[in-house]
Amino acid sequence: MRVLNIAVEGMIDGVAAARLARLAGFDSFLVHGRAGKTRLDGRVRAYNQAARLGPWFVLRDLDHDATCGAELSLRLLPSRERLMCLRVVVREIESWMLADRPGFSEFFRVASSRVPASPDTLEDPKQALLTLVAGCRLRELRHDMLPRHGTVNREGPAYTSRLSEYIERVWSPTRAADASDSLRRAINAISSLATLT
């Protein structure tokens, strides 16, 4: 049985990473972290040490923390163990969700033509996603995902669970990889990691 350790910033990242792990052929996985990027950054070297004993897949959003994924990756982990796979999402995990235009259109009931064709170039993928959801025909989805008026939250009360549902039920990483270079590279990297175990 091939078991993969996964470390991520948040819940949605964990669900997406698990989909990639299954796609790569891992039989089982353990998800660590989910406590924000500062905590993840502080633990990445320890995860790298643990990769001496077994495979690790670490997923980190680029946000605006560096000019590119390679720069951030090198800053976080200058040298890696053979079984460590650190990948950077450009710019946020939401860009990977938007990259599957047909799937996003189907689940969120928005016209495919409105979904950005190049989500890796978006400055704020989460805001782009929320703007699209605001035009969704399903009131329940809008209610769950959009922030309440008068609150400081960027998203609605069921944002995480709805996006997780989308990832599990509809999102196609292979289809999305055609529109997201950072996702395509992540799929290739985790697939290569699987061949080493």
- pLDDT at position 183 is 98
pLDDT in tens, 129-184: 999 999 998 999 999 999 998 888 899 999 999 999 999 999 999 999 999 999 99
pLDDT greater than 90 at residue 10: yes
pLDDT greater than 90 at residue 121: yes
Q: Which structure tokens are listed for 179?
A: 């529109």
Residue matched to tokens 């990259």? 99
What average pLDDT does range 25-44 have in this prediction?
96
- pLDDT at position 1 is 80
The interaxial angle of helices 101-108 and 125-134, nearest 10 deg, is 40
SS3 state at 152: coil
State the Cα–Cα distance between residues 40 and 37, nearest whole angstrom.
Answer: 5
Q: pLDDT band for position 186 (50/70/90)? A: very high
- pLDDT at position 40 is 98
- pLDDT at position 150 is 81
- pLDDT at position 149 is 85
In CATH, the architecture of 3-90+180-195 is: 3-Layer(aba) Sandwich (3.40)
Q: Is 148 exposed, middle or buried (0-12, 13-18, 19+ CB in 10 A)?
A: exposed
What average pLDDT does range 17-43 have in this prediction?
96
State the Cα–Cα distance between residues 176 and 102, nearest whole angstrom.
Answer: 9
- pLDDT at position 154 is 92
State the Cα–Cα distance between residues 43 and 5, nearest whole angstrom.
Answer: 13
- pLDDT at position 111 is 96
Residue ranges per structural domain of the chain? 3-90+180-195, 94-176
Closest CA relative to residue 52, chosen from 87, 26, 24, 81: 81
Residue matched to tokens 């299954």? 22
* Cα dihedral 123→92→183→181 (10° resolution): 10
| pTM of the model as a whole | 0.95
- pLDDT at position 197 is 87
* Cα dihedral 163→167→171→172 (10° resolution): 150
Q: What is the mean pLDDT of the chain?
A: 96
Residue % of the chain over a pLDDT of 90: 95
